[in-house]
Chain A
Amino acid sequence: MSFVTPWFLLGGLVLAVPILLHLIRRESAQKIEFSTLMFLRKVSKRTIRYQKLRHLLLFLLRLLALLLLVFAFMRPFLNRPQASAAPGGRATVAHVIMLDNSMSMAYGDRWARARAAAAGIVRSAQPGDKVSLLEFSDRTNVLTLPATDFGVVLDLIDNGTELTDRPTRYGQALKIAEKAALDSGADKRIIHLISDFQKSGWAADEHDFRLGSQVELQCTDLGSDQYSNLAIGDIQLVEGDEEKGGGLKIRFSIFNFGTEDRNGTRVTMSVDGRTVTERRVDTAKGAVQGVEFDLPGLTSGLHNVALEVDDPLLTRDNRFSMTLQERTKIPVLSVEVPNSGRGGRAPSFFLANALNISALSPYRLSAITPQQFASMGAVTGGLLIWNNTSGGGAEMQKKLQDYVRGGGGLMIVLADFALAADFTRTFGTWLPLKIGESPANPRHNAGASLPEDFALLTDLRMDHPIFHPFSEPHSGTFSSARFSNHARIQAAAGAQVLARFDDGDPALVAADIDKGRVLIFASSADDTTNDLPVHAVYAPFWHQILRYLENYRQERQWMDVGDTIAPRKLLVEAAVRQGKRDVNLNQAIVVMDPARQRIDVAPGSDALSVDRAGFYEIRTADLNTSVAANPSLRESDLSHGNAEEMAAGWVSIDSKAQTYIPNDEGLTAEEQDRRARLWRYLLFAVLALLIVEGLLANRFILKTE
């Protein structure tokens, strides 16, 4: 025996009321001094006992009526027998209930109706049937496998299911539901899909999925063709116009996914919980409205920035969260011979333009001469470009070596073979490569115009971080750059060739030296021996080189709900950002989700799924960082699909899908009747008891009088 609403058992406390009243009245009974009890004693022997019995009978009847009333409100549910014991040899049925708990189900009263529909299905199951419950979004959670204990399933529906911020994905959930149905061992298998049937819930890669013919699909469609929802997307961080003072801006879009216009909607931006900007926005139905907010100057450190649109209908996607950090510019030193470039320009002319391209650039390039480099102290930070310069003395070489071995990033640019001997003498001892003495292209002299005979870049390692951004089509090409002359690098073990010229010579070689990184480019950084600076890939190429040298990891300003984060790794990165070197990660890590609930990180594991939209706070005793998570914009699109058509696409030709649209109450009249069945009988019993009690009481009283 199970109960749908067992907390009504507390109502049983009312049983104590008549008992307490009885005791209190007994204690507070009037005291009467009477001449003698000799007659009353005789009466008690014969009558009092009978009277007590009658009283007790009435009392018990009233208590029983109250008890049954409480029992009825608890909505008892008889556990069904096992399938093998199905009465009358009837075929057993396995009901697998798929409850959509994706974010879109939070719209209006869909979630309440969905749970009511699920409970109705459970109650309609017959003795011997099995019921299973799954909740799904893009992740499927099997709450209970097919079982005959309907009370447990009902309890799970009420207390074990909850909405998520995740998107809908039907295919995967249907597969799991089908497996649960097939494993049930029942004669008949029905999958009950309770969802709002979002069009976006059907992924393109799942179109080839179909349920087997042994499974029947019944759909409960809670969606509607009339809806309204606003969401935020397309976030961009852009640099403001110099004329207007520059600064950073956040550009984003308000998506009106609904079927009606939304005017005067309040849109706000908050930084660290404080609203800094507000605007009213009109958005036509089905349209996208761009909005731009000036980002206030941020202090150093991580800041939680949230954009929020005021939309009461579906609130879970109203807020777009992200973390922003003011990044200090990294100094890049170019050691070069001044005016040694083509036309007397500085060799870092193009490089400077590429790196100082905007205020958003994290690098600040400055050029010094080899003499200045020799005279300065040890290099402790930033990046270094050895820009087609001779190696200098032993002291300078030691300085370079110490810099690299200490974790520095060094880019060596070799415009031609002229420095080959010097390079081999200087770097050959500690770098796993040498430079060939003979020129790769002896017909060309530096300073002359590019000849017809030129080399091209080929065989790029697109899987390497430097070239990875260029791997996608239309993401930039290096093949059009012409190289008139280049150094001939002979890579040894420990060196990694990242790009080659079409004559097979390495063009870009990487080598890790202790903690540091070294890149050698076998051509110039300007247009002396190649025309790469005039190509679109030049600036991003050098940005990628410098990112690689500084071991830079792009920080994600927000995650999607459902992504996995690594709290320890995030803390290490936060420590690096905060300049803390000795980080003790053996101490307890606390992760607080957006609902301010603590999430335990399993020992030895550094993976955590972000399931809620908002800011996750990760901290130890002396470190903290935060991660923003946002629901998928796809889930905000409440476009309602045709349940019958969608179901027809899922079931096999032999099988059949049934769809019904719930009424306003979310349940059919038949279901409501079934729901009321058992406790209604109990109420009838209560009524009958009270009638009997009334008759007996009247009879006793009349007889007494």
Chain B
Amino acid sequence: MIHAQQSAPQPTRFIDPATLSRISSLELVARTVVEGFISGLHRSPHLGFSVNFAEYRHYRPGDDIRKIDWKVFGRTDRFYVKEYEGDTNTGIHLVVDCSRSMGYGSRGVTKLEYGQYLAASLGYFAFQQRDSVGFASFNNQVREQVPARSSLGHLNTVLHAIERLNAAETSNFAVPLAQIGERFRRHGIVIVISDLYDSADQVMMGLRNLAFRGNDVIVFHVLDPAELRFDFDKHAQFIDMETGEKMHVIPDFLRQEYLKLIRNQIADFEMECQKDRMDYALLDTSEPLDKALFKYLARRQQLF
């Protein structure tokens, strides 16, 4: 069935995360996502991506207009197309939050599973670009860290590390992220996948620790639709997954305030990341992974 979807371009682009959750192999998940994503681009990723600049040439009808260098056009008022060499050694560091709150999921897929799919897909995608891929996980401490490499066997190591993740303990952003950043041997792209459930100061402190070391940071803020919409209808006793704290809540009365607070939080994160030249993307676990891949791709393009 998955294979059938791959052969049909459109449907495979937006594979639902819930469907992905039925695929037991994370590698297969990653491949399904990435191949589907790439085939939707109608263009081989080996040209134009992750390669060194070769030369400019005049634009010819039939060229992809995305290859037009608009800066040159701005200076010369002529269309030039960039040509690249197919080689790179960019390091991609996948940093996944595996605190207990990441284990929450209201639609069958938890945030952690979504983050795993995303990390695996990005890793696979980067590996396809011949980038070296590293991985780290954390909650209130560094759980696991795999250095970035580009060998085929290393991809499996990364994928296995991602697959082993389980949600546990509370969150802490400042210390673990600083520790992870210290272990990077060379700067590259750091992709942080988390629900960012900590105080905004702590979160930003941790992210800045990564960014200050010369890394390009992409923050994927993964949230469950229930967290984004708070669409509970009955009076219930809510239990904090990380602290075990209990609270009687009548959702109808709190929804507006809650949504206001979380929107403010998202806006704050977005603004703070922008200030620090970090990319920020909010991901809804009910939506396909394409958005994240596009985000990554865009960032990757900006680098080269």
User: Does A33 touch B at the CB level, under 8 Å?
Assistant: yes
- Judge whether B197 and A40 touch: CB under 8 Å: no
Mask, B221-253, CB within 8 Å of A = 1, is 000100100001011111111110101111011
User: Does B111 touch A at the CB level, under 8 Å?
Assistant: yes
User: Which one of A25, A33, A42 contacts B239 once the chains associate, using CB atoms below 8 Å?
Assistant: A33
- Judge whether A30 and B236 touch: CB under 8 Å: yes
Chain A facing B: main interface SS: helix
- Judge whether A26 and B197 touch: CB under 8 Å: no
Mask, A92-110, CB within 8 Å of B = 1, is 0000000000000000000
User: Does B104 touch A at the CB level, under 8 Å?
Assistant: yes
Given A25-B235, A34-B241, A40:B254 Cβ within 8 A: yes
- Pairs across A and B, CB under 8 Å, 8 listed: A30-B235, A31-B236, A33-B239, A33-B241, A37-B247, A39-B261, A42-B261, A704-B255
User: Which one of B111, B224, B234, B252 contacts A704 once the chains associate, using CB atoms below 8 Å?
Assistant: B252
- Judge whether A36 and B247 touch: CB under 8 Å: no
Interface size class of A (residues with CB under 8 A): 20 to 34
Q: Shortest Cβ distance from B148 into chain A, in angstroms?
A: 30
User: Does A35 touch B at the CB level, under 8 Å?
Assistant: yes
Residues from chain A with Cβ under 8 Å of B257 in the complex: 43, 46-47
- Judge whether B254 and A48 touch: CB under 8 Å: yes
User: Does A236 touch B at the CB level, under 8 Å?
Assistant: no
Q: Shortest Cβ distance from B199 into chain A, in angstroms?
A: 8
Central interface residue in A25, A44, A46, by most chain B CB within 10 Å: A44
What is the CA–CA distance of A42 and B245 in the complex, to the nearest angstrom?
14
Residues from chain A with Cβ under 8 Å of B253 in the complex: 47-48, 51, 704
Q: Shortest Cβ distance from B247 into chain A, in angstroms?
A: 6
- Judge whether A43 and B261 touch: CB under 8 Å: yes
User: Does B258 touch A at the CB level, under 8 Å?
Assistant: yes
Residues from chain B with Cβ under 8 Å of A41 in the complex: 247
Given pairs A33-B104, A43-B254, 4 additional interface contacts (CB within 8 A): A35-B111, A37-B240, A40-B258, A47-B257
**Residues 22 to 79 of chain A near chain B (Cβ within 8 Å):** 25-26, 29-44, 46-48, 51
Residues from chain B with Cβ under 8 Å of A47 in the complex: 253-254, 257
Residues from chain B with Cβ under 8 Å of A25 in the complex: 235
What is the CA–CA distance of A25 and B242 in the complex, to the nearest angstrom?
26
The chain A residues found within 8 Å of chain B, CB to CB, are 25-26, 29-44, 46-48, 51, 701, 704-705
What is the CA–CA distance of A48 and B249 in the complex, to the nearest angstrom?
9
- Judge whether A32 and B195 touch: CB under 8 Å: no
User: Does B303 touch A at the CB level, under 8 Å?
Assistant: no
Q: Shortest Cβ distance from B223 into chain A, in angstroms?
A: 9
The chain B residues found within 8 Å of chain A, CB to CB, are 101-102, 104, 111, 195, 197, 224, 227, 232, 234-243, 245, 247-250, 252-258, 261-262, 265
What is the CA–CA distance of A346 and B266 in the complex, to the nearest angstrom?
142
Given A26-B248, A48-B254, A35:B237 Cβ within 8 A: no
Q: Considering only CB atoms, which chain B residue lies closest to A54 in the complex? A: B253
- Judge whether A705 and B101 touch: CB under 8 Å: no
Residues from chain B with Cβ under 8 Å of A46 in the complex: 257
Q: Shortest Cβ distance from A699 into chain B, in angstroms?
A: 13
- Judge whether B239 and A34 touch: CB under 8 Å: yes
Given A47-B254, A705-B252, A32:B241 Cβ within 8 A: no
Central interface residue in A36, A41, A42, A43, by most chain B CB within 10 Å: A36
- Judge whether A44 and B101 touch: CB under 8 Å: no
Residues from chain B with Cβ under 8 Å of A31 in the complex: 236-237, 239
Q: Considering only CB atoms, which chain B residue lies closest to A26 in the complex? A: B248
Q: Shortest Cβ distance from B169 into chain A, in angstroms?
A: 13
What is the CA–CA distance of A701 and B253 in the complex, to the nearest angstrom?
8
- Judge whether B239 and A32 touch: CB under 8 Å: yes
Top 6 A-B pairs ranked by shortest CB distance?
A: A35-B104, A35-B101, A43-B257, A30-B236, A51-B253, A37-B240
Residues from chain A with Cβ under 8 Å of B101 in the complex: 35-36
- Judge whether B254 and A35 touch: CB under 8 Å: no
What is the CA–CA distance of A29 and B254 in the complex, to the nearest angstrom?
16
Q: Considering only CB atoms, which chain A residue lies closest to B100 in the complex? A: A35
- Judge whether B250 and A51 touch: CB under 8 Å: yes
- Judge whether A29 and B236 touch: CB under 8 Å: yes
What is the CA–CA distance of A451 and B257 in the complex, to the nearest angstrom?
138
User: Which one of B232, B252, B258 contacts A39 once the chains associate, using CB atoms below 8 Å?
Assistant: B258
- Judge whether A40 and B241 touch: CB under 8 Å: no
Given A40-B254, A40-B258, A43-B254, A35:B197 Cβ within 8 A: yes
